[in-house]
Amino acid sequence: MEADAAGTRPQEHPAQAAGSARRLSWRRRWLFLAVIWLGCELLAGCGLWLLGAQEPLGPPFGSLSERHRKILQRFLEGGSSYAMHSPALGWLPAPGSSFRLGQVNSEGLRGARDYSPQPGSGEFRLLAFGDSFTWSHGVKDAQTWPALLEQTHPRLEVLNYGVTGWGPDQAFLRYQHEARGRQARVVLIGVLSENIARVVNRFRPFYLPSAALPFAKPRFELRGGELRLLPNPLPELDDLRRLLDSPQTVLPVLGRGDFFYQQASPWGAAPLPSLRVLSGLWHRVLEPPIYDMQLGRSLYHTDSEAFAILCALLESFAAMVVEDGGTPVVMMFPTLEDLVQTEMDGSTSYGPLLEHLAALGIAVFDAGGSLLEHGEGRVDPFYRPQDMHFSVLGNQVVAEALADFLARQIEGFPTP
């Protein structure tokens, strides 16, 4: 381009003029989008403020309750009678300890009896895993259903690996860490119907604020159809001390990947208000609930994360037992509310899980059927009214029915 005689600006080439126009057009578009985005963030922020999402959370989500502070303080000072911290599993019965109703053996199993690493000649060994319904909370050692099952024949050994407050994920991990070489003929995998909630929980009080154990736990998540372990987020005693000293800092970390924390604080902690709104819509509207407060029973939505993880856990647990030469048996424990509902309308809250396990060919002993049959219309005597665990009678019925089931299903199972 050349300047004219009058010294005016050189004329712009048509191609350059078109390029300049396009650049100006794109700048305007980006400016327009930026204004729209800022408006959305402002609108989302105002909405969160109106919903009270900026308010601090109370215990157990934003701070520790006074009761949990005292429990942690006492635990860290060595005042716990039979529970100990576990870096991998969260908590365990302390080997060699005792409590009001019984003892813990040298390996951390319920009962005074110690077992050899492998069964002796002619002995038939079973391992029982699960939560407080396997541990058999509220009854003496000799009155637990594993002990009663063991008493049905002198050749039987039933090792009680149950732990109060545990989820099936912790039971699966304990089997991997401690029991794969025990040469068990049968491995009993105890699952209380409510346990579906525990597989998406990382800090027990988030799920159960009244819990007596304010400890963290590992859990699994599904990635590409495969289980991936999320380790215990408080693996050291110093981590528990940090929780006690700075709960406002530690609790949000524990809330990552915890279904119940996200439900209590569904708007999350994302830096952008719009992302927090999307998180809230997911946790409040789209994610299926796990528990029905009116019915007092667990909900087994087949499209929920909890159901998918529980199914994958039990499938993996059973496959590992088979690989080790044993036979897995899933034991389903109903709550009293489950049995009452079954009596009323014939439904079973955990029916979808039973169907899934049956399709996989995994043996299932459903204690609910045995309790209903034995109760003849009255099932409350099978539970302790103070904590809704199996009573002495409930443990007896479960042990007798389980012995009959195993005699029919397991070749070589000793019978009287």
pLDDT in tens, 257-307: 898 888 776 545 555 656 555 555 555 555 667 766 555 567 899 999 999
Same domain, 85 and 49: no
What confidence tens digit (pLDDT) does each residue in 110-157 have? 999 999 999 999 999 999 999 999 999 999 999 999 999 999 999 999
Euclidean distance between CA atoms 194 and 213, whole angstroms: 17
What confidence tens digit (pLDDT) does each residue in 209-225 have? 888 889 999 999 999 99
Question: What is the rounded average pLDDT for all residues in the chain?
Answer: 87
Same domain, 45 and 78: no
Residue 142 in domain: yes
Q: Which of 36-45, 261-270, 281-290, 399-408 has the highest average model confidence (pLDDT)?
A: 399-408
State the residue range of the domain holding 37: 16-55
Query: What is the dihedral angle through the alpha carbons of 7, 8, 13, 18, rounded to the nearest 10 degrees?
Result: 160
What residue has token string 């305007």? 28
β-pair partners for 158: 126
Euclidean distance between CA atoms 151 and 113, whole angstroms: 13
Contact 342, 379 (CB under 8 A): no
Alpha-carbon 335 to chain mean position: 17
Same domain, 25 and 123: no
Q: Residues 6 or more apart from 5 whose CB is under 8 A from it?
A: none
Euclidean distance between CA atoms 72 and 215, whole angstroms: 9
CATH of the domain at 151: 3.40.50.1110
Task: Please state the φ and ψ torsions of residue 117, each to the nearest 5 degrees.
Answer: -55, -40
What residue has token string 């159901």? 307
Same domain, 184 and 278: yes
Residue 166 in domain: yes
Same domain, 182 and 328: yes
- DSSP class per residue in 228-269: EEE--S--SHHHHHHHHH-HHHHHHHHHTT-HHHHHHSTT--
Residue 306 in domain: yes
Residue 355 in domain: yes
Residue 416 in domain: no
Degrees (nearest 5) of the Cα angle 105, 110, 116? 50
Using DSSP bridges, classify how beta strands 219-223 and 226-230 pair: parallel, antiparallel or unpaired.
antiparallel
pTM of the entire predicted model: 0.84
